[in-house]
């Protein structure tokens, strides 16, 4: 593949000088149009050592309006980054809609380098690439533009460049010992890069291989490539998918919820007091052990309105040292959150090693309320199942414990609780018209819950449906489940 | 002072059981009211070792709705925190309006501990306390409620507690070797804490000293204190200050801007090309040296409309490796930003060690546009001068280089540029009705600029008024100033 980028292409000074002004004008225009169209752009700059990637980045930012561009150099990881799944550092740098982010170094860097130095296996590399492809597809389908540039040089040209890096140019990047170490493995990197590029060269996010030997050719081609990709995107915005007919409504049949024997799940007050205290003590000890080992927990609370989420969360919180826990209530997104992919607002709250985060409602809103209420299009919520399991898989792979709880009660018990809330002065704020409206859609929600459990309950991150007809039973089971999950991981 | 908290106060079991339910009900009610009133609350939990601060934190979060409370334990600093001024880690954890943050450990911890172990001098301690007082005043006057709890125990009681920390209670915090090391310095800590408390016991943010020997007394008093402070705040919100008459408009006289000899500041094209390249080269080298030494720069760009900020920023950006620079354009705040003190949005963008951040417009908006347009009340913008110099002082003390540029041009030249923008198709987006309206208020702005320079140009963070009548001159001077400031710091 790289042979096509060893042609000795050159751009002479006059041609360069003649083409740059028009290029810059059009780039600035394109940047304004992107802002107006609220398209977020990620420009990935990668390639062989010595190809002058930093020069290219400088050139691009010089040509664009720097006020709409963030350059992100993924040099050393900070400890806050090391403590989260590897993708976290990229998620936190994803541009909001309408902005451009240049990624110098990217999600490709680690897998390729780690494989080259035999820190990971072929299978692990392949897995990493699959995940990258999924991430890029997810961002793209959400409206982002991901422009991937690969700067190539032949081994000979690289050797010459590294030998005399300062030749003729101010500002050449000082070569680090690492660069030379990398250069010695030219063939290995070439082979791995070739494989990585092929594996991730998709229709939505193709690679652009740019010959880097001649600097003017390199920079001009980079600029023109970026411009072409942006202009194409502006000219033909992704068609809103033909409104996919929602999947045929399944015949009303039993759901996973029907399997729960609600009447059987009750506790007496004595049983409750004793069991709750025992489970809380157990959880308390486990969380300190988890802190010692830097194992973190992500706990998802979902459930019917009035199923007792708040009370259950308080029983978990009471068991823990408050310093270890963060409760993130998920309500309407902030405007910064709305300017990103819907998973961004959850990525940003992932705990550091040893801590617990409770999401009071979560990313599952996508396949529950957004599905049932029509806030998400069918194609959006349908693909969300895979996006979500992919997200959770990354947490688990990083060593996080993912616990997902659905608090279930009967329609009759919900009605009783609604009515009690309306009767009780200090509970009235807990019942709104929306609750009543949701209740009318009970069957649609039951189906959505069934599908959610069926499609996202994985071995690594299973769903636990908690019988919440009896609050005592539910609270004990919630604390016990959180403790069980943590214990199994320690 | 602490004698008043060595009275042996106790609460018996029955009293405790009788008072807690009402307390919890009222706390939950108060929390809801705080949310409705959009008051952010910081509860600082501090005190002697062994007083059971973590138990108190747990109790408070148990009594409050955990969904509106964030507990922040300021344990080890992360490297992202160490790389910023010490207050950064607190700023990033300040609650948005309507939320409660419990600070376990706070801005008081470091100064007192560092002084106890002779890492800082008395003068440095005093300075830190002055800064804390200023911070608390600033947050309070902005509408926040800062509740400061100090848990006290006599030396004897502490010794007994530390001897047998697990006595009779589950979940007691495991004592670290550090705790014992601290306890050995009981007298030193008592003396320093006493001084710190006195120095920061202000009317707006008083300290509440709570006797911690008896656990029920301690927890109940803590809860009731928090409740009392909140209820008082809700009952009498800070009166919008009597609309302070704006200070008498100074007789129109010469401003700092009049001293700039605009006609004299021009460069020929040859001079420009030569000097710009020389300064850019110099700046390039300096920024890499700064990265090596982890010295970061904060660069503020302010100036008249059409003074050429954008072009000047591009000339600075062109000099740097793009990976070292971040340009933050300051436009309308996001809703997350609006939910915090106005300086929060700037704190969040401070660079890590070795990087540069350009603020394209800045916190000076408070004393410029917000003053002139009346977006800020006179008392708000008047106190902003001190808030701003206090903010910048912290950056400088941390080793950051703060460079502040005002791009100045004559009213006539501005008019010429406005008209040119209207004539030139691709520049038309750069001129808006607002620009024309601002222009009508030229004199008011000139006065605001004069006051700004007079009151915020400090030795550590001076203003540079750049003659921008000639764009070439301005661009060279901007790059040169940034380089000069950096050079002086290296």
What ipTM does this complex have?
0.85
Mutate to test the interface with B, among A78, A322, A359 (most CBs of B within 10 A): A322
**What CA–CA distance (Å, rounded) separates A332 from B39?**
19
The residue ranges of every structural domain in chain B are 2-235, 256-489
B426 near A CB under 8 A:
yes
The whole-angstrom distance between A66's CA and the closest CA on chain B is 7
**What CA–CA distance (Å, rounded) separates B370 from B330?**
13
B135 near A CB under 8 A:
no
CB contact under 8 A, B318 and A174: no
B76 near A CB under 8 A:
no
Question: Could you tell me whether strands A463-467 and A401-408 are parallel, antiparallel, or unpaired per DSSP bridges?
Answer: parallel
Q: How confident is the model at residue B255, as a pLDDT?
A: 85
Q: Which residues of A touch B173 (CB under 8 A)?
A: 321
**What CA–CA distance (Å, rounded) separates B450 from A163?**
55
Share of chain A above pLDDT 90, in %: 76
Q: How confident is the model at residue B247, as a pLDDT?
A: 61
Query: How far apart, in Å, are the Cα atoms of A159 and each of A153, A182, A190, A334?
Result: 9, 11, 14, 50
pLDDT tens digit sequence for A201-224: 998 899 999 999 999 999 999 999
Mutate to test the interface with A, among B66, B70, B352, B361 (most CBs of A within 10 A): B66
Q: How confident is the model at residue A168, as a pLDDT?
A: 41
B67 near A CB under 8 A:
yes
Instruction: Report the residue from B57, B62, B68 with minimal CB separation from A323.
Output: B57
Q: Which residues of B touch A360 (CB under 8 A)?
A: 67
The whole-angstrom distance between B244's CA and the closest CA on chain A is 34
Instruction: Report residue A335's pLDDT band, with 50, 70 and 90 as the boundaries.
Output: very high
Instruction: Report residue A172's pLDDT band, with 50, 70 and 90 as the boundaries.
Output: very low
Q: Give the pair of three-digit tokens for residue A110.
A: 């680690």
**What CA–CA distance (Å, rounded) separates B160 from B171?**
18
Other Cβ atoms closer than 10 A to A446: 19
CB contact under 8 A, A281 and B170: yes
**What CA–CA distance (Å, rounded) separates A185 from A179?**
10
* pLDDT average, residue stretch A329-335: 92
- Residue B204 per-residue DSSP state: S
* pLDDT average, residue stretch A161-185: 61
Edge to edge, the sheet with strand B145-152 lists B69-73, B100-104, B41-47, B145-152, B207-211
The whole-angstrom distance between A88's CA and the closest CA on chain B is 15
Helix residue ranges, H only, B261-377: 269-293, 309-319, 335-338, 344-347, 369-372
Q: Which residues of A touch B100 (CB under 8 A)?
A: none
- pLDDT tens for the 490 residues of chain B, in order: 788 788 888 999 999 999 999 999 999 999 999 999 999 999 999 998 888 898 999 899 889 988 889 999 898 889 999 999 999 999 999 999 999 999 998 999 999 999 999 999 999 999 999 999 999 999 999 999 999 999 999 988 888 887 765 544 444 444 556 677 777 888 899 999 999 999 999 988 999 999 999 999 999 999 999 999 999 999 988 776 666 556 656 666 788 898 889 999 999 999 999 999 999 999 999 999 999 999 999 999 999 999 999 999 999 998 998 889 999 999 889 999 999 999 999 999 999 999 999 999 999 999 999 999 999 999 999 999 999 999 999 999 999 999 999 999 999 999 999 999 888 877 777 788 889 999 999 999 999 999 999 999 999 999 999 999 999 999 999 999 999 999 999 9
Mean pLDDT for chain A overall: 91
Which residues lie below 8 Å from residue A350, measured CB to CB, with a gap of 6+? A84, A85, A88, A296, A298, A357, A395, A400
Q: Which residues of A touch B317 (CB under 8 A)?
A: 61-62, 66
- From B73, which residue of chain A is nearest by alpha-carbon distance? A323
Sign of CA dihedral B125, B127, B129, B131: negative
Closest CA to B204 of B142, B111, B152, B127: B142
CB contact under 8 A, B71 and A326: yes
Q: How confident is the model at residue A170, as a pLDDT?
A: 46
CB contact under 8 A, A67 and B360: yes
Helix and strand tally (H, E) in chain A? 20, 10
B109 near A CB under 8 A:
no
CB contact under 8 A, A171 and B32: no
Instruction: Report the residue from A29, A66, A104 with minimal CB separation from B317.
Output: A66
Partner A, chain B 317-346, Cβ-Cβ below 8 Å: 317-318, 320-327, 329, 334-336
**What CA–CA distance (Å, rounded) separates A222 from A211?**
10
* Main-chain dihedrals φ then ψ at residue B170, nearest 5 degrees: -80, 155
Instruction: Report residue A255's pLDDT band, with 50, 70 and 90 as the boundaries.
Output: confident
Partner B, chain A 166-225, Cβ-Cβ below 8 Å: 170-171, 173-174
CB contact under 8 A, A71 and B429: no
pTM for the complete prediction? 0.90
Q: How confident is the model at residue B267, as a pLDDT?
A: 96
Q: Which residues of A touch B102 (CB under 8 A)?
A: 322
CB contact under 8 A, B318 and A62: yes
Closest CA to A306 of A419, A403, A404, A405: A419
A210 beta partners: A151
- From A322, which residue of chain B is nearest by alpha-carbon distance? B58
* pLDDT average, residue stretch A76-87: 92
CB contact under 8 A, A317 and B66: yes
**What CA–CA distance (Å, rounded) separates A341 from A337?**
8
Beta strands in A304-420 (DSSP E): 325-329, 356-360, 401-408
Q: How confident is the model at residue B171, as a pLDDT?
A: 44
Residue range A2-235 forms a domain whose CATH class is alpha beta
CATH code of domain A256-489: 3.40.50.300
Fold identical between A2-235 and A256-489? Answer: yes
Which residue's structure tokens are 């101010």? A170
CB contact under 8 A, A25 and B314: no
**What CA–CA distance (Å, rounded) separates B354 from B295?**
5
Q: Which residue has the higher pLDDT, A165 or B111?
A: B111
CB contact under 8 A, B329 and A67: yes
Other Cβ atoms closer than 10 A to A342: 19
Which residues lie below 8 Å from residue A424, measured CB to CB, with a gap of 6+? none
Residue A167 has pLDDT above 60, yes or no: no
The whole-angstrom distance between B311's CA and the closest CA on chain A is 9
Are the C-beta atoms of residues B124 and B195 closer than 8 Å to each other? no
Q: Which of A27-31, A236-240, B224-228 shows the lowest mean pLDDT across its residues?
A: A236-240
Q: Is A99 helix (H, G, I), strand (E, B) or coil?
A: coil
Q: How confident is the model at residue B400, as a pLDDT?
A: 97
Q: How confident is the model at residue B169, as a pLDDT?
A: 45
Q: Give the pair of three-digit tokens for residue A223.
A: 């600029």
């Amino acid at each position: 593949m790289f042979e096509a980028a060893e042609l000795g292409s050159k751009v002479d000074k006059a041609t360069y000088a003649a083409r740059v002004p028009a290029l810059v004008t059009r780039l600035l225009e394109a940047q304004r149009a992107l802002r107006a169209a609220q398209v977020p752009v990620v420009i990935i700059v990668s390639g062989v050592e010595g190809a002058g990637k930093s020069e290219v980045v400088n050139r691009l930012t010089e040509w664009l309006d720097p006020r709409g561009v963030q350059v992100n150099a993924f040099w050393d990881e900070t400890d806050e980054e090391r403590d989260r799944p590897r993708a976290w550092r990229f998620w936190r740098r994803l541009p909001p809609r309408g902005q451009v982010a240049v990624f110098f170094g990217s999600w490709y860097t680690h897998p390729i380098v780690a494989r080259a130095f035999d820190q990971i296996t072929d299978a692990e590399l392949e897995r990493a690439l699959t995940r990258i492809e999924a991430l890029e597809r997810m961002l793209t389908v959400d409206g982002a533009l991901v422009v991937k540039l690969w700067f190539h040089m032949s081994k000979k040209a690289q050797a010459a460049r590294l030998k005399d890096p300062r030749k003729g140019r101010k500002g050449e990047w000082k070569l680090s010992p690492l660069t030379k170490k990398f250069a010695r493995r030219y063939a290995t990197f070439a082979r791995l890069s070739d494989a990585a590029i092929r594996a991730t060269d998709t229709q939505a996010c193709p690679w652009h291989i740019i010959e880097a030997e001649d600097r003017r050719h390199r920079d001009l081609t980079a600029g023109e490539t970026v411009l072409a990709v942006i202009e194409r995107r502006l000219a033909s915005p992704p068609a809103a998918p033909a409104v996919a007919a929602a999947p045929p409504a399944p015949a009303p049949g039993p759901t996973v919820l029907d399997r729960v024997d609600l009447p059987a799940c009750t506790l007496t007050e004595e049983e409750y007091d004793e069991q709750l205290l025992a489970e809380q003590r157990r959880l308390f000890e486990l969380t300190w052990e988890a802190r010692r080992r830097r194992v973190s927990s992500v706990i998802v609370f979902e459930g019917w309105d009035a199923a007792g989420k708040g009370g259950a969360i308080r029983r978990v919180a009471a068991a823990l040292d408050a310093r270890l826990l963060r409760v993130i209530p998920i309500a309407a997104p902030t405007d910064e959150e709305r300017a990103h992919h819907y998973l961004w607002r959850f990525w940003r709250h992932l705990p550091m090693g040893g801590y617990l985060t409770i999401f009071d409602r979560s990313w599952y809103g996508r396949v529950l309320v957004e599905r049932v209420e029509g806030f998400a299009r069918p194609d959006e919520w349908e693909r969300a199942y895979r996006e979500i399991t992919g997200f959770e898989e990354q947490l688990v792979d990083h060593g996080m414990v993912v616990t997902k709880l659905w608090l279930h009660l009967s329609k009759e018990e919900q009605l009783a609780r609604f009515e009690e809330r309306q009767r009780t002065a200090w509970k009235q704020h807990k019942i709104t018209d929306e609750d009543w409206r949701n209740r009318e859609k009970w069957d649609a929600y039951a189906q959505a819950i069934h599908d959610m459990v069926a499609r996202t309950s994985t071995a690594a991150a299973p769903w636990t449906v908690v019988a919440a007809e009896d609050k005592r039973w539910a609270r004990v089971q919630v604390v016990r489940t959180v403790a069980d999950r943590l214990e199994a991981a320690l």
